[in-house]
Amino acid sequence: MSSERPSPPTLPTHQAERIRRVESWLRQVAVLRDPDHPLGRAALEQLPQSTGLARESVAWALKHCFEVDTTNGDLAALVAATPVAPHAHVLLSANVFSSALRALALAIASSPRLSVRASRREPVMLELLRLASPSAFELVTELSPNPGDHLWLYGSDATLTEVTKLTAPGVSIHAHGTGYGVVALQLTEDSPLATLAAAVAADIAPFEQRGCLSPRRLLVDGPPDLTRRFALALVDAMSRVEQLLPVGLLAASELAEQRRWTQLAALSGELWPAGRGWVALPDEGRPLGLEPLGRCIALETSEQVPRLLAEVEPLLTTVAAFGPRGWLTELRSVAPRARHVAPGRMQSPPLDGPADRRLIPPARSGQL
């Protein structure tokens, strides 16, 4: 919860009230993070079954990605980034269970009246939030926003496009769709390879790379021998992380895609098992494309990392970068809408607004 209180002389009354509304809700749902509370115990028992994540990964996410501990400054930023609505509606995604907290916090900041539909693939988290805060929102099976209402959508671009087509004219739509994170490193002999590898491994492991903040590409600018040393350090780091956060259940389609990717990686360069995951180092000029889910990563070597980032900027949610200050500034300039963080910080952004700052262009004018 907030460590500071809003200051009435500096905050408009309506803004202070919205902050208090979110803060009060965060205080109620914080019990889900307490393993000694009945709802906390229920979360640890039920979420592994509904998400496929290992129990250890669920516990880690509740501790590190369930953003109930925040500052008044972050809440003020969240409120400032959120429009006021007579009625807010939310369609949740199943990929990252803890993301429901941020999605609902944004909607609660927008309106005291809230309707939420859970993902059909993962309804447990929303039910736990409802039990922790019975009066905060209405749990519905279908969303029916009226003109003037605001609708927050989370999921794949294809799903959100279909929902948008069926939404009444005059509804303001905030659509957060397909996206991913990228790690960008400029390595020199002075770079702390083991420390960087541990940080990148910590970004890769949570949620089996299913979340939009998870790294799906690793871009490296550095000498070949140093890049290979970093790859081997990453293999070791990912194996160590797996001892703390075991790999969860992967779908048959995810395993099939992983097999195809590893076969291509083995033909394109070097490939190492990293626990149940994989690290690949393709030969220069032979990119493997977007990595599959399940803790797989390839080191794409290039002296043109800023250009590669610029090419995928519309899909970028987060860039975890390490390098000299001027290079980091250039990365920010080519990907201005992404969150830019240090390696190891991709999965836990502050509760200062949407985690994903991009918006899908509206299917029809006037919706955003």
Average pLDDT of the segment spanning 155-159 = 87
Quote the pLDDT of residue 285.
66
Query: Tokens 């956060």 map to which residue?
Result: 245
Q: Where does the pLDDT of residue 367 fall: very low under 50, low under 70, confident under 90, or very high at 90 and above? A: very low
Whether 125 contacts 133, CB under 8 Å: no
Quote the pLDDT of residue 290.
84
Quote the pLDDT of residue 227.
97
Average pLDDT of the segment spanning 334-362 = 88
pLDDT tens, residue by residue, 72-111: 999 999 999 899 999 999 999 999 999 999 999 999 999 9
Rounded Cα gap, residues 222 and 119, in angstroms: 42
pLDDT tens, residue by residue, 268-278: 999 999 999 99
Quote the pLDDT of residue 2.
46
Strand partners, 281: 270
Quote the pLDDT of residue 13.
66
pLDDT tens, residue by residue, 28-60: 999 999 999 999 999 999 999 999 999 999 999
Query: In this model, does residue 253 exceed pLDDT 70?
Result: yes
What is the average pLDDT value for the chain, to the nearest integer?
92
